């Protein structure tokens, strides 16, 4: 049986981004259903995708920009956070838009992320 990292390494960029979008939608449903353990498992899977794309030649996390216009706010939030290191201006603009949207819980998460960035608590890598 292959490890999670090996399975991710064998997937195309497009399939990883598509799965990231699916994860965001599933996370949204988990949040609304107060399914914290499920949300956390999905978060771990998303972090694996981000790490895989970062490790690829040229740091492919920029591909998350494709999801900036997704219909689901959690997908947009995840995409903005995933691109803070590689597209900081665009990512910050999206986080500001999400925070101003008052579409909770994502608006609150985006606002906290902006605060952490401004305070130097969170430094994207």
38-86: pLDDT as tens digits: 999 999 999 999 999 999 999 999 999 999 999 999 999 999 999 999 9
Per-residue confidence (pLDDT) for residue 1, from 0 to 100: 55
Q: What is the mean pLDDT of the chain?
A: 96
How far apart, in whole angstroms, are the C-alpha atoms of residue 76 and residue 62? Answer: 13
Per-residue confidence (pLDDT) for residue 108, from 0 to 100: 98
pTM: 0.94
Per-residue confidence (pLDDT) for residue 2, from 0 to 100: 66
Report the run of H or E that residue 36 belongs to, with start and end. helix 36-55
Per-residue confidence (pLDDT) for residue 6, from 0 to 100: 74
The percent of residues above 70 in pLDDT, for the chain, comes to 98
pLDDT band per the 50, 70, 90 thresholds, residue 7: confident
Domains annotated for the chain, with CATH where assigned, are: 4-119 (1.25.40.70)
Are 26 and 45 spatial neighbours (Cβ–Cβ below 8 Å)? no
């Amino acid at each position: 049986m292959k490890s999670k990292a090996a399975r991710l390494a064998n997937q195309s960029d497009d399939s990883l981004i598509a799965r990231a979008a699916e994860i965001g939608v599933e996370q949204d449903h988990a949040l609304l259903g107060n399914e914290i353990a499920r949300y956390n498992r999905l978060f771990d899977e998303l972090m694996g995708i981000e790490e895989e794309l970062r490790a690829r030649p040229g740091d492919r996390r920029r591909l998350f920009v494709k999801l900036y216009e997704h219909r689901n706010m959690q997908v947009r939030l995840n995409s903005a956070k995933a691109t803070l290191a590689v597209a900081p201006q665009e990512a910050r603009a999206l986080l500001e838009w999400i925070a101003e949207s008052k579409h909770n819980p994502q608006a609150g998460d985006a606002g906290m992320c902006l605060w952490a960035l401004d305070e130097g608590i969170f430094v994207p890598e």
